Structure 1
């Protein structure tokens, strides 16, 4: 099937009608003076936040960034405070191992409510019920405000330090490691759904009392180059600076499709190849195929146009592909060609549970013949990989549990490291170190040997800085992950290695059945880029012929999903 290339104005003077409209629903709040923001809550139309590093209790206007330090004379009392809540005229807070409360208008009257054996991370209060998150326990503890006694406890939904807030019958939890917000039933602890946040390390959350917008606080550090005039020989130094702000979290939960979409961004992505042969070449009637961005539940391709030279568009196995043709390509020829696309991307989290896949249909035969075989040097015939595949799942039969056990066994064994070439899974397993592509190879082999259809997908990640807009961003490397197939459901994503964050776990599940907004999805079930000639005598690789250039520009934030 041949199609003419779509086109639209994606130049520097981009049509303003395609850009998102900004307002309060997208505003990033950057309060001056704050080094960190934790345990946010609303007091009237103002945000109260703790700065545990400086010992500040801050009142922040989310409309103007204006800041007032409320504890001018009680700075020592608020050092290390990580959780805040307001119930009536009472301020509640967590500091170190203690839970405290005092009148909002008399901070000197701070009293101990309960002391825990481990640090109390955050707090939320609803009428006479006090909720406290404690990562060391692995639970959310529930206390009676009158008796000071623990009523019950829920298992924490994530693995990191968590922040809390209450909205009517819901308890909302943000997890710093999981980069996720969870909505759970405040009476039973049952998970309703979860949402990926657009930035890393969320440290607190609260709903605006008037318009109901959910604000999330983020606190971390970022590296930057500092110009030190006192160092004449080497004035440029790598150092760290605080990066803390508030930002509205927008989401849409679709219970029928079992997915949640969160904040999205409009991206301009360019992919181009610069012809620069390493050796002498003389090629005739060369066909150069480059896949276009895919249409998925979380990614929409608004438009695409050619770069450098025209292309025709073909549909290959349901995927759109740009086809460039060269009648003659000889040594000394120089071309730049590719495409420029306008993409809508969002965070997505699928909400399937173990019970949802307890009874599923058999895998279709066409999927068995395509996605359960060794089609890419996966070492599936070796005794080592077959033994690892058996030991990884044990006696487990549930598809999701099997895949999680496989993932965790790979994380236990491998550490991330860049490699000059992709080795086979048996070599990678013995070595104990792998790149993202090598993680993918091991995961594919173990999953397919256990009857789980899966495939490699990818191809690039936009640098994940949603607040750096209208500035060219270039990824350092390409990136691949996998999709696995649930009969009767469809293809779901799973990151290859980015959540291998600590020795021995527990490992986050944020990107198990989920992807953040900065992933650009290409080439579902087909090769991303291929070369061909009529007589199929091509012996040169793409890397020997050309240098690729990838660039992203964040044009703005999309309206709420």
Structure 2
């Protein structure tokens, strides 16, 4: 049984929260704890590494047999036997055998990726087959097979009655029922491309801590003395092992994973481009929102004081200017201390069969064309009908619409946002244009939805106390499921393959680096005497330059 309490401990309690970086490792695929030692497979070099998790002291155990381990992925250790997968086969050998004399356990028709041992059963994952097969350990006969939860290369481990699966493309770890394969919940990992996972039992705290390995391409500036100019942008492979902290809330259908305490600043630098004179101006800015995955500790003004008001239950900062002209110069904004976590909801179509009615006022707010959504055009009406077909289940309709839009749009940034009919006809859109098309198709199918955002912290989770500046703003959306509430969905980042299959990591999920602003209200707007100024009257972009900055202070466990 999975408890609804925290299964992991705070970063300070174990190994001082250190990221484990095995010395000389190139690409770690497959990890396992055994007798308080960490074992890791470096499949690029063919090394079987033994790592002290505290000092990171690293040994190569297969010094004379490393060629046999090149390309090896899955790793499991049970009863002093080392199990691993290589290409189409599963092998095992004695862990203390210096010659690593391996025996073939089974050879399969499809390439295999991960392996886990539980008593008399051997679990083997295969991305090609899309399954996790279960074999009898004594005779290698297949007992059953389970559907793999994601679409990427999956590695596996077992703890008690639970089968845990990491997926490289889904950026996720899944907790499945070991016997049936039923998904209990899933977790977003704080880094991309998880390649292995294992549990460590801390005898001092009697807690089980989940560790995940990662392999990524890291951009960096190389100083090349033979080139002119001497600085070059290149990529290098980065690999490490990091604890995955989490908490599951079964009654609310979601799980939180690794978070960070972040200082965010949003500042406008007043520098009008055109002659202008505005009197008694109110400049309103939305403030960070309090949500399941985001906790606001404090907010304070920068440059000028503001008064805080509540609009539709959301916090908004109001800056007042007696007179603003083209000669006015100042900076003003806010600084917020927020705690952000990864969140992933676990809902199935069966959970959405018998739903209560939507709140009566939601139809007028979230089912109408109130943002140039071109819902009355033929191309959008036709797309709304084609996307869902005869589907009646709410969650399946949402999923079908998402995939329909992904099939017809490719990501691209432009200086302005076109309406959904133009974006759909062109076949290329920015995050805002993806959102526009999704909103239009959802609303025409009576699915309440809204735009949310506004920025993403640069995803440099291991870089602390250094200011980080995002290159762009960002928007995504939320859809409403009666009886459950508002659920997030990224607009375009899951559209990674032309024609799919598409991962679902950000379908009902958000990574830790999303910063959520007040919802249901504009992020910024100008008002005079209670009247909102539109873009034709005055454009905020022509009045000021915005400055956005994030500083990651420390890692946070969702306890």
Q: Same fold (TM over 0.5)?
A: yes
3-state SS in 1 of match to 2:208: coil
Aligned partner (choices 256, 259, 281) of residue 261 of structure 1: 256
- For the structure 1 residues 537 and 501, does the alpha-carbon distance in structure 2 shift closer, same or farther, using more than 3 Å as the test? closer
Does the aligned pair in 2 maintain the 1:313–1:323 contact within 8 Å?
yes
1:308 aligned to 2:306? no
Query: CA shift at 1:531, angstroms?
Result: 0.5
Q: Which moved more, 1:206-215 or 1:373-382?
A: 206-215
Q: Deviations over 1:506-561 (max 9, x none)?
A: 11111111111100001211101001112849411100000000000000011342
Aligned residue pairs total 542
Alpha-carbon distance between aligned partners in 2 of 1:188 and 1:537, rounded to the nearest angstrom? 57
Question: Which residue pairs with 1:111 in the alignment?
Answer: 103
1:337 aligned to 2:329? no
Query: CA shift at 1:362, angstroms?
Result: 2.1
Alpha-carbon distance between aligned partners in 2 of 1:141 and 1:519, rounded to the nearest angstrom? 36
Aligned partner (choices 13, 26, 47) of residue 35 of structure 1: 26
Does the aligned pair in 2 maintain the 1:294–1:301 contact within 8 Å?
yes
Query: CA shift at 1:22, angstroms?
Result: 7.5
3-state SS in 1 of match to 2:422: helix
Alpha-carbon distance between aligned partners in 2 of 1:20 and 1:506, rounded to the nearest angstrom? 36
Aligned partner (choices 428, 434, 442) of residue 439 of structure 1: 434
Question: Which residue pairs with 1:216 in the alignment?
Answer: 212
Q: Deviations over 1:194-241 (max 9, x none)?
A: 11111111000000033411111011111111010111x221111111
Alpha-carbon distance between aligned partners in 1 of 2:527 and 2:302, rounded to the nearest angstrom? 21
Query: CA shift at 1:20, angstroms?
Result: 8.7
Q: Deviations over 1:179-198 (max 9, x none)?
A: 11111111111111111111
Does the aligned pair in 1 maintain the 2:525–2:532 contact within 8 Å?
no
Query: CA shift at 1:66, angstroms?
Result: 1.1
Question: Which residue pairs with 2:546 in the alignment?
Answer: 548
Alpha-carbon distance between aligned partners in 2 of 1:186 and 1:168, rounded to the nearest angstrom? 8
Alpha-carbon distance between aligned partners in 2 of 1:431 and 1:227, rounded to the nearest angstrom? 42
Does the aligned pair in 2 maintain the 1:20–1:266 contact within 8 Å?
no
Q: Deviations over 1:292-336 (max 9, x none)?
A: 000000101000110001000000011100100000111221010
1:84 aligned to 2:75? yes
Query: CA shift at 1:108, angstroms?
Result: 2.9
Alpha-carbon distance between aligned partners in 2 of 1:280 and 1:227, rounded to the nearest angstrom? 47
1:229 aligned to 2:220? no
Query: CA shift at 1:21, angstroms?
Result: 5.4
Q: Deviations over 1:268-313 (max 9, x none)?
A: 0000000111111111111100000000001010001100010000
Question: Which residue pairs with 1:5 in the alignment?
Answer: none
Q: Deviations over 1:143-182 (max 9, x none)?
A: 1111111111111011111110011111100111111111
Question: Which residue pairs with 2:6 in the alignment?
Answer: none
Q: Which moved more, 1:528-537 or 1:127-136?
A: 528-537
Does the aligned pair in 1 maintain the 2:300–2:334 contact within 8 Å?
yes
3-state SS in 1 of match to 2:364: helix
- For the structure 1 residues 85 and 535, does the alpha-carbon distance in structure 2 shift closer, same or farther, using more than 3 Å as the test? closer
Does the aligned pair in 1 maintain the 2:163–2:175 contact within 8 Å?
yes
1:481 aligned to 2:476? yes
Does the aligned pair in 1 maintain the 2:286–2:317 contact within 8 Å?
yes
Q: Which runs of 5+ in 1 are unaligned?
A: 1-18
Alpha-carbon distance between aligned partners in 2 of 1:361 and 1:69, rounded to the nearest angstrom? 59
Alpha-carbon distance between aligned partners in 2 of 1:144 and 1:535, rounded to the nearest angstrom? 73
1:123 aligned to 2:115? yes
Question: Which residue pairs with 1:57 in the alignment?
Answer: 48
1:522 aligned to 2:517? yes
Does the aligned pair in 2 maintain the 1:25–1:248 contact within 8 Å?
no
Query: CA shift at 1:363, angstroms?
Result: 2.0
1:153 aligned to 2:153? no
3-state SS in 2 of match to 1:457: strand
1:197 aligned to 2:192? no
Query: CA shift at 1:365, angstroms?
Result: 2.3
3-state SS in 1 of match to 2:73: strand
Alpha-carbon distance between aligned partners in 1 of 2:95 and 2:484, rounded to the nearest angstrom? 51
3-state SS in 2 of match to 1:481: strand
Alpha-carbon distance between aligned partners in 2 of 1:396 and 1:495, rounded to the nearest angstrom? 22
Does the aligned pair in 2 maintain the 1:422–1:437 contact within 8 Å?
yes
Does the aligned pair in 2 maintain the 1:20–1:556 contact within 8 Å?
no
- For the structure 1 residues 315 and 556, does the alpha-carbon distance in structure 2 shift closer, same or farther, using more than 3 Å as the test? same
3-state SS in 1 of match to 2:100: helix
Query: CA shift at 1:351, angstroms?
Result: 1.3
Alpha-carbon distance between aligned partners in 2 of 1:331 and 1:369, rounded to the nearest angstrom? 39
**Aligned pairs (5 A) from 1:371-390:** 371-390=366-385
Alpha-carbon distance between aligned partners in 1 of 2:259 and 2:169, rounded to the nearest angstrom? 21
1:290 aligned to 2:285? yes
**Aligned pairs (5 A) from 1:137-176:** 137-176=129-168
Alpha-carbon distance between aligned partners in 1 of 2:365 and 2:39, rounded to the nearest angstrom? 55
The alignment's C-alpha RMSD in Å is: 1.4
Question: Which residue pairs with 2:59 in the alignment?
Answer: 68
Does the aligned pair in 1 maintain the 2:277–2:323 contact within 8 Å?
yes
Alpha-carbon distance between aligned partners in 1 of 2:470 and 2:527, rounded to the nearest angstrom? 28
Query: CA shift at 1:25, angstroms?
Result: 5.9
Alpha-carbon distance between aligned partners in 2 of 1:189 and 1:445, rounded to the nearest angstrom? 36
Question: Which residue pairs with 1:506 in the alignment?
Answer: 501
